[in-house]
């Protein structure tokens, strides 16, 4: 880049606008990037072959010559690039050929950059996400390895550093075949600059720098670049329509008074079951049942209308058919009600008519400021207030410290039933978001993040209503308490299933993945982990780190579980000498011990309880160990231990999770689970599960402390 080529970005964009066309030409593109500190290749435009030869002589040989023109985006496809030119004569010959390519307006002469490592970086825009920065490996790898990661602009230094470390082929950035490590600080600055351009210049729709070459000394230089203008690209990244300042969600979770609009005397009907659920949970506020038919339901009087209530309730649970919902919601507004749950399905997720009904609800919300959960929601629950708006017959919901936010009704119904009947933990708040036309994933997370009754948050999401807002809320939330997210639809096929299931935004999973990583929340993949996460986040402390000590009665288990730890990112560290000595003390002579611990010999020689107790104690006392997983041997013939010792060890080491797996006889396994779990020690039927659970815990610890 010669000095005369630099300029200010506004002027360069104005020049491009004036000139027209979908893109800035290659030279303009790099000039724009250079304004933001991106290191670009030394180059200049020449009008004819003779001038090109002069420029090349100035820049030095070998030189690269490229066809240059406003409409020449894909130069390599028209053989518009010649490398390795070593003399003015060669430049002239090549230049003469290039000028014959249709669309060529001049010649771009470049310094030929050494180095065989290539990177790519860029900027793209997506609705809701706004400007997003891309980074990946370049050349043939970009397409083959699909090794590209995304972050949402603006990027902090930490964001950029994490992004760089996130590519699969990160080894490529270290010292490599005698070449220096990549200057990752300079790389981070490039990525941050791309974000800055995206935020500052809305007319820049897209940027591709491909490749950024890595010189043998590790420095970087943008060799080719393309800037696409927005009026050409037709990109839309506008955030969803702004909403009026929203009220707090607190009244949903601690309503002094509630109206059930559509209360029913018919058992099995949602309008009946919701009343039964509220009574079963022992709601202590004032409950008003509303139905034009009047009468009495479950011993409670029924009011004919909202208008006839003796007070304005804090919350209305609207449990009438979809077509009646707009009218009822208007009545709520008229009565001065500020919060409503709309349970009915049959809106945008259903058919065209439903889309119209949903738009009616949205209009009422927009004009009145009433806060709405739903429609198409299975309701919400607040055990500290002994309240639920759910109509699935769950009965009394066990109080707990974990809160769930779910974009699927299923979680709040039969999965909750599974938790209540098969698990030993409870919940603080539960929200089924339904179609989320007002309260969405960001509002919900913001509420539970701030909620003193909630000690951990588990979310099931199929899309983001407001990705940028979610990023902001989640980033703040995960520093305060564990936040675990299952975002489904990562495969293409899964994505299709999501589209037909809800009226949800199907975002590219790479963007979503970038967002969740940038937010720093812990991501899970399996539906079953929703339950597992709630369980361990309720029962276990967060470990200080990811270093696990484990014991099993079998070398085969130790080996396969060590493999598993590698796949899950858990470390199986070496123990202190005195720990080893203690493990050898409790074992028969001459048995050498290590982590993981083969406890078979100790347990069979000195008793199962003694072996496990002393083995676990030794691991728990080792400063290298953050969490302990015993695979308990439970068979009648080897002797079944009393399980109390596990409680004692947990009490003595409150900062180190103990996650219990089993090998042996089913009835003792069942017995041990039934003893330990109500006492706060999580147990798992499959020996791999404690490690999957520990991955969640260690992830949450990292999230709490990450920048």
Q: Which of residues 558-577 bind its own copies (CB under 8 A)?
A: 558-567, 572
Nearest distance, CB of residue 348 and its own copies, angstroms: 14
Q: 3-class secondary structure for 522-572? A: EEECCCHHHHHHHHHHHHCCCCCCCEEEEEECCHHHHHHHHHHHHHHCCEC
Interface pattern 311-350 for its own copies (x via CB under 8 A): ---------------------------------------x
How many other CB atoms are found less than 10 A from the CB of residue 376? 25
Work out which of 635, 645, 671, 677 binds its own copies, going by CB under 8 A: 635
How far is residue 277's CA from residue 541's CA, in Å, rounded to a whole number? Answer: 32
Joined tokens for residue 102: 């249709």
How far is residue 38's CA from residue 248's CA, in Å, rounded to a whole number? Answer: 44
> By CB under 8 A, is residue 368 in contact with its own copies?
no
- Answer whether 579's CB lies under 8 Å from 621's CB: yes
How far is residue 493's CA from residue 210's CA, in Å, rounded to a whole number? Answer: 30
Q: Counting runs of H as helices and runs of E as strands, what totals does the chain give?
A: 26, 28
> By CB under 8 A, is residue 299 in contact with its own copies?
no
Work out which of 528, 569, 623, 678 binds its own copies, going by CB under 8 A: 528
> By CB under 8 A, is residue 15 in contact with its own copies?
no
Work out which of 10, 11, 165, 169 binds its own copies, going by CB under 8 A: 169
The CA-atom distances, in angstroms, between 145 and each of 139, 148, 167, 220 are: 10, 8, 10, 22
> By CB under 8 A, is residue 408 in contact with its own copies?
yes
> By CB under 8 A, is residue 93 in contact with its own copies?
no
- Judged by beta carbon, residue 7 or residue 573, the one nearer its own copies is 573
How far is residue 9's CA from residue 7's CA, in Å, rounded to a whole number? Answer: 6
Site for its own copies in 657-696 (CB under 8 A): 662-667, 669, 685-688
Nearest distance, CB of residue 386 and its own copies, angstroms: 20
- Judged by beta carbon, residue 352 or residue 577, the one nearer its own copies is 352
> By CB under 8 A, is residue 397 in contact with its own copies?
no
Joined tokens for residue 401: 């410290």
Scored b (16 or more CB within 10 A) or e, 99-110 reads beeeebebbbbb
> By CB under 8 A, is residue 141 in contact with its own copies?
yes
> By CB under 8 A, is residue 392 in contact with its own copies?
yes
Site for its own copies in 35-64 (CB under 8 A): none
Nearest distance, CB of residue 269 and its own copies, angstroms: 12
For the CA atoms of 429, 430, 433, 437, what is the dihedral angle to 10 degrees?
-30
Site for its own copies in 530-549 (CB under 8 A): none
Work out which of 253, 283, 470, 600 binds its own copies, going by CB under 8 A: 600
Site for its own copies in 467-496 (CB under 8 A): 486, 488-494, 496
Joined tokens for residue 613: 């107790």
C-alpha gyration radius of the chain = 32
Nearest distance, CB of residue 378 and its own copies, angstroms: 10
Nearest distance, CB of residue 564 and its own copies, angstroms: 7
- Judged by beta carbon, residue 11 or residue 145, the one nearer its own copies is 145
Number of residues in contact with its own copies, rule: CB under 8 A? 91
3-class SS at 521?
A: coil
How far is residue 330's CA from residue 357's CA, in Å, rounded to a whole number? Answer: 13
Interface pattern 447-466 for its own copies (x via CB under 8 A): -------------x-x----
Site for its own copies in 71-90 (CB under 8 A): 77, 84, 86, 90
For residue 461, the surrounding DSSP H or E stretch is: strand 456-461
> By CB under 8 A, is residue 592 in contact with its own copies?
yes
Site for its own copies in 410-429 (CB under 8 A): 410-411, 414-415, 417-418, 421-422
Q: Which residue has the tokens 């030993």?
A: 424
Work out which of 3, 4, 18, 171 binds its own copies, going by CB under 8 A: 171
3-class SS at 108?
A: strand
> By CB under 8 A, is residue 281 in contact with its own copies?
no
> By CB under 8 A, is residue 587 in contact with its own copies?
no
Helix, strand, coil tally for the chain in percent (to 5): 40, 20, 40
Nearest distance, CB of residue 421 and its own copies, angstroms: 4
């Amino acid at each position: 880049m010669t000095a005369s080529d630099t300029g200010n970005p506004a002027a360069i964009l104005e020049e491009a606008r004036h000139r027209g066309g979908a893109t800035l030409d290659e030279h303009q593109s790099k000039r724009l990037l250079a304004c933001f500190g991106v290191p670009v290749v030394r180059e200049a435009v020449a009008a004819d072959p003779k001038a090109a030869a002069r420029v090349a002589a100035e820049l030095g040989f070998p030189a690269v010559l490229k066809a240059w023109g406003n409409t020449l985006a894909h130069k390599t496809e028209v053989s518009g690039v010649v490398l390795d030119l070593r003399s003015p004569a060669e430049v002239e010959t090549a230049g003469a050929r290039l000028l014959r390519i249709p669309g060529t307006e001049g010649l771009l002469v470049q310094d030929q950059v050494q180095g065989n490592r290539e990177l790519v970086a860029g900027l793209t825009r997506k609705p809701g996400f706004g400007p997003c920065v891309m980074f990946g490996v370049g050349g043939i790898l970009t397409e083959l390895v699909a090794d590209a990661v995304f972050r949402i602009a603006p990027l902090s230094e930490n964001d950029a550093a994490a992004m760089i470390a996130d590519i699969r082929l990160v080894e490529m950035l270290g010292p490599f075949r005698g070449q220096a490590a990549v200057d990752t600080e300079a790389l981070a600055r490039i990525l941050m600059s791309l974000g800055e351009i995206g935020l500052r210049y809305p007319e820049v729709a897209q940027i591709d720098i491909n490749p950024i070459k890595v010189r043998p000394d590790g420095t970087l230089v943008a060799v080719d670049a393309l800037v696409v203008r927005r009026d050409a690209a037709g990109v839309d990244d506008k955030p969803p329509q702004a909403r009026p300042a929203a009220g707090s969600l607190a009244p949903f979770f601690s309503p002094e008074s509630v109206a059930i609009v559509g209360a029913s005397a018919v058992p099995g009907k949602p309008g009946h079951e919701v009343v039964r659920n509220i009574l079963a949970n022992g709601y202590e506020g004032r409950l008003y049942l509303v139905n034009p038919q009047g009468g009495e339901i479950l011993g409670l009087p029924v009011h004919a209308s909202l208008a006839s209530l003796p007070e304005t309730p804090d919350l209305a649970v609207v449990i009438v058919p979809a077509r009646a919902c707009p009218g009822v919601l208007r009545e709520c507004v008229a009565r001065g009600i500020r919060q409503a749950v709309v349970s009915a399905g049959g809106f945008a997720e259903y058919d065209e008519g439903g889309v119209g009904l949903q738009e009616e609800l949205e209009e009422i919300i927009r004009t009145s400021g009433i806060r709405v959960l739903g429609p198409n929601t299975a309701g919400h629950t607040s055990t500290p207030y002994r309240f639920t708006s759910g109509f699935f017959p769950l009965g009394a919901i066990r109080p707990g410290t974990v809160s769930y936010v779910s974009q699927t009704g299923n979680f709040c119904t039969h999965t909750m039933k599974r938790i209540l009947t098969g698990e030993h933990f409870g919940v603080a708040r539960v929200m089924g978001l339904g179609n989320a036309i007002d309260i969405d994933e960001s509002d919900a997370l913001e509420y539970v993040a701030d909620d003193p009754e909630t000690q951990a948050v588990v979310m099931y999401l199929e899309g983001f209503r407001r990705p940028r807002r979610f990023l902001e809320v989640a980033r703040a939330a995960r520093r305060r308490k564990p936040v675990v997210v299952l975002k489904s639809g990562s495969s293409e096929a899964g994505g299709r299933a999501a589209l037909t299931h809800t009226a949800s935004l199907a975002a590219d999973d790479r963007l979503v993945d970038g967002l969740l990583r940038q937010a720093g929340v812990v991501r899970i993949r399996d539906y079953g982990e929703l339950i597992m996460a709630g369980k361990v986040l309720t029962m276990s402390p967060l470990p200080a780190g990811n270093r696990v000590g484990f014991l099993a009665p079998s070398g085969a288990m130790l080996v396969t579980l060590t493999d598993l730890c590698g796949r899950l990112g858990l470390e199986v560290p070496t123990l202190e000498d005195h720990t080893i000595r203690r493990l050898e003390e409790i074992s028969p002579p001459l048995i050498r011990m290590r982590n993981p611990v083969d406890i078979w010999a100790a347990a069979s020689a000195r008793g199962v309880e003694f072996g496990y107790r002393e083995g676990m104690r030794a691991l728990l006392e080792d400063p290298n160990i953050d969490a302990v997983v015993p695979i308990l041997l439970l068979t009648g013939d080897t002797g079944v231990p009393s399980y109390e010792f596990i409680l004692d060890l947990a009490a003595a080491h409150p900062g180190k999770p103990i996650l219990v797996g089993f090998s042996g006889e089913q009835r003792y396994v069942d017995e041990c689970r039934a003893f330990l779990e109500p006492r706060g020690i999580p147990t798992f039927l499959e020996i791999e599960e404690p490690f999957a659970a520990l991955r969640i815990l260690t992830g949450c610890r990292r999230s709490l402390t990450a920048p």
